[in-house]
Amino acid sequence: MEGWRMKDYGSIFKWLDGHTATYAAVADKIWGYAEVALQELKSAALQMAHLKTEGFTVTEKVAGIKTAFSAERGKGKPVIGFIGEYDALPGLSQKVAPRKDPVVQGAPGHGCGHNLLGTGGLAAAVAVSRWLEENGMEGTVRYYGCPAEEQLWAKAFMARAGSFDDLDAALNFHPATYNMPGKGTAVGIYDVRFKFTGVTAHAGGSPHRGRSALDAVELMNVGVNYLREHVPEKVRMHYAVTDGGRVPNIVPETAAVWYYLRAPDMKILDNVYARVRKVAEGAALMTETRVDIRVTAGCSSVLNNHYLADLHYEVMKDIGSIVYTDEELAFAREINTAYPDGASEGAFAGLPVPQAERDRVEAVGKRPLVDENFPAMDELEVRTGSTDVGDVSWITPLSMLRTTCFPAGVASHSWGATAASGMSIGHKGMMHAAKIMAGVAALLFDEPEHLKKARDEFLKKTADSPYKCPVPPEIRIEDVTPTF
């Protein structure tokens, strides 16, 4: 970054180092709670209580969501937000062990490291708010407790309520197998429910009098599967039949199918959705049934801010690498053997690594844990998973940082990620992220030109594509409450 000069924010980093045990304990409590989407009552309460002791003003039930909150400290502009999450995943209970060993078989677990994600943002927010106050500086630090990220829509509801509108920038991170800021994107998603209604009849005695809603669902799915050949690359369409009739000898009056439609661009997503609707309407026409189509939720594609990503990397270089113990390296080596494909491909598998970084990536990526920091290498990458952080990124400048919280061969959304998230490997990645985000925030508060450059890039990229909330205005939280 031309003209770069890192200021001395050593007091912030020193404070975070001195409070590692505090935030590791918070992360471990949330890891133990392992609460799934919209059930994160204890996790949210723990974070809110901590923020109150640090002088933050807390607003509960943001956007009408019982486990969403925001908290702020300071005054005036700029307003810098830290985005936190704390929901677990069903079925991923796991002890801190390098072999699969659930705490409770079938119970939830933090297989995506959200206990670390939320706590790292919490630590950074507190550290920066203290630094602002100690130096008598203007500015507001805000932390967002965001539930249900694994259901991909809570931040969209919060965005629809205007929760992020006054932010000058937002910072967040996600546990990963490497240390790198983000420039790539991730696909947006529509959560769509299709309910068909027909006419019942005796399936053996008078089938001609019936009109099968289940036939309509099956024909729709066949049609969508043929449509796969004729959609752009990176589009994903997947479904689950949620109502398929009760017994075989009754022509089903009702049947339903639940779809996730994903695309790298919201315009492409709108086009795909329109075509899938036509398939559903055609299935209804063929079976003489009727179909009710409802978009119940969704999230936007991710718009990473490249200037912020570069700023993250400069701070990362100043902070240095993560240092691991022999015990942590041994744990990582053993757990990697349970993921033979991932371990052989390395931590950076699938990334379009630039020529300048290939030798270093080759050497570092095969280590059991990635300790070094890397610049953004994902500018051309389109992740086909989704995150509702995307909605925030279309409202204010944001770059998604990733830090090493998992061994190199571990897949996220797996028992191995749960294990690493509950121990020192995850703690070190979390505090590494907290330092990086805190350093970037300090620069944005201290040197307004950085904020201006990030904002200029954001305005240029969104000039022709302003944010449009993917959740329809008539949809309520109750309409999309998940059940596990």
| pLDDT tens readout for residues 197-226 | 999 999 999 999 999 999 999 999 999 999
Give the pLDDT band (50/70/90) at residue 479: confident
281 vs 194, 200, 237, 243, 323, CA distance in Å? 10, 20, 17, 18, 58
Distance CA 172, CA 49 (A): 21
pLDDT recorded at residue 480: 74
Per-residue pLDDT of 144-172, as tens digits, reads 999 999 988 899 999 999 999 999 999 99
| C-beta of residue 219 within 8 angstroms of C-beta of residue 300 | no
Assess whether the previous peptide bond of 232 is cis (omega < 30° from 0): no
CA–CA dist 407, 370 (Å, integer): 8
3-state SS class at 194: strand
Q: CB of 413 within 8 A of CB of 339?
A: no
Residue 296 CB coordination number (10 Å): 16
Please give the mean pLDDT across all residues of the chain: 94
* pLDDT for position 484: 47
Of 34-43, 213-222, 266-275, 340-349, minimum mean pLDDT range: 340-349
Residue 365 has pLDDT above 90, yes or no: no
**Tokens 């908290």 map to which residue?**
71
Identify any residues that bridge with 316 across adjacent strands, giving them in sequence order. none
**What CATH superfamily is the domain 10-186+301-462?**
Zn peptidases (3.40.630.10)
Q: What is the pLDDT of residue 7?
A: 64
Q: Could you tell me which of 68, 57, 48 has the C-alpha nearest to residue 158? A: 68
Rounded mean pLDDT of 363-383? 91
Q: Which of 444, 188, 384, 461 is nearest to 302 (CA)?
A: 188
**Per-residue confidence at 481, pLDDT binned at 50, 70, 90?**
low
Neighbour-count burial of 106, counting CB atoms closer than 10 A to its CB (0-12 exposed, 13-18 middle, 19+ buried): exposed
188-299: CATH number:
3.30.70.360
> Residue 405: is its pLDDT beyond 80?
yes
pLDDT score of 355: 85
Entry pTM: 0.92
Region 56-61 average pLDDT: 98
**Every domain of the chain and the residues it spans:** 10-186+301-462, 188-299
Contact call for residues 175 and 276 (beta carbons, < 8 A): no
Closest C-alpha to 143, from 253, 50, 36, 6: 50
